[in-house]
Every structure is written in structure tokens, then in C-alpha cells.
Amino acid sequence: MIAVSHYVIKTKEKDFHKALLGVIEKAKSFQGYQEIKSLKLEDNDNLEFLLLAKFDNETNYKAWEDSDTRKNWSNELKKFVTKQSKVRHQEGLEFWFDLPKQPNTIVPTKWKMGLVTWLVIFPLILILTSLANKYLTFLHPNLKMLFVSLILVSFMTYFLMPKITKVFAFWIFKK
């Protein structure tokens, strides 16, 4: 996954969004394209759009990155942004442990990422499995696990890991 932060001029947000939708449509025609998601992160000073680009492999992503379409998009961006865009290549669990709002943080060691993830997943698995076994008795065991894994991943990605990362930031991102 590639994460790109664009720092947009607040008065140019609608124009940026319109141009973004256009470039996403063009990206869909590239081999290996999976998705580009946009997250709006706003504080008092900045309007940051975090774009998450997924391609099926590095070669196909590189073809997109080197394309005239993406280069034209990059030139068009200059009308909408306040500073240079920031690009981060991320693999695996690193995305959960990235704090875009904290400058100069380093990617934590894999053992710290693994330990914190395990500390969150283990009790969540126990709770969700117990609830599924109690309330979803009518489902086949494989369907129960499908349901548990769906809830687990969603809960981890959108709720728990962002909060846990902030709680443990003093240790995880220790320089």
C-alpha cells in the first residue's frame, strides 16, 4: 500500500476533490489497480487528504507511478496544495502504526508492532468467539469464524488500533 498525504488549501478543497475523482477514474484503467481511498484529516492549521493506493504488485504500481496520467495529476496538484506531498510505502502492520500527524516519527520495530497487535487481538478473539458461540449457534462453525474475523479486522482497523497506537505511542515510537 502506498500512502500519500496532500496538504490542500482549504479554499481549494472542492476543486481538489473534483480533480481527485478524475484521476481515480483514470487509475482504474491501469493493470493491477485495486483501489484508491481518500481520508480527510483536518486540524486547525491543515487540511490533509491521505490517499491510500493499492495495486496488486509493485510492478503495476510502478507503471502507474511512472505514467503520464500520474505525472499530469502531480502537476495539477500544485494548484491545490500548500506544501510538498508526502509519500510513504507501507507493508503489513506498519499502516496501523503510522501517525501522520506526528512529524519525524520512525517506523516501530516489528516485535513492538507484533506485541501490541497481539495484546489487542487476543482478548478480542476470546470475546468475539464466545459471543459467536453463544448467539450464533445456528451457523456452521466456518461461518461463525468468517463473522468473527470480519468483525475483528473491522474493529481493529477502524477503532482499536488507532486508539491503542496513540496510547502506546510513547513506547512504540521511541527514537
pLDDT digits (tens, 9 = 90+) for 131-163: 999 999 999 999 999 999 999 988 887 778 877
Taking CA 45 as the corner, what is the angle to CA 39 and CA 47, rounded to the nearest 5 degrees? 25
Give mean pLDDT, residues 79-104.
Answer: 64
Q: Name 84's Cβ contacts closer than 8 Å, sequence gap at least 6.
A: none
The domain limits of the chain are: 2-89, 110-172
Of 157 and 30, the structure prediction assigns the larger pLDDT to: 30
Among all chains, which residue has been given the C-alpha cell 515510537? 173
Q: What percentage of the chain exceeds 70 in pLDDT? A: 84
CATH 3.40.50.1000 fits 2-89, yes or no: no
Q: Are 47 and 10 in contact (CB under 8 A)?
A: yes
pLDDT in tens, 31-67: 999 888 887 876 666 788 888 888 888 898 899 989 9
Helix intervals (H) in the chain: 13-27, 58-65, 68-77, 110-135, 141-155, 161-167, 169-172
Q: Name 120's Cβ contacts closer than 8 Å, sequence gap at least 6.
A: 156, 160, 161, 164
Answer whether 0.85 is exceeded by the pTM.
no
Q: What percentage of the chain exceeds 90 in pLDDT? A: 29
pLDDT in tens, 63-77: 998 999 989 988 888
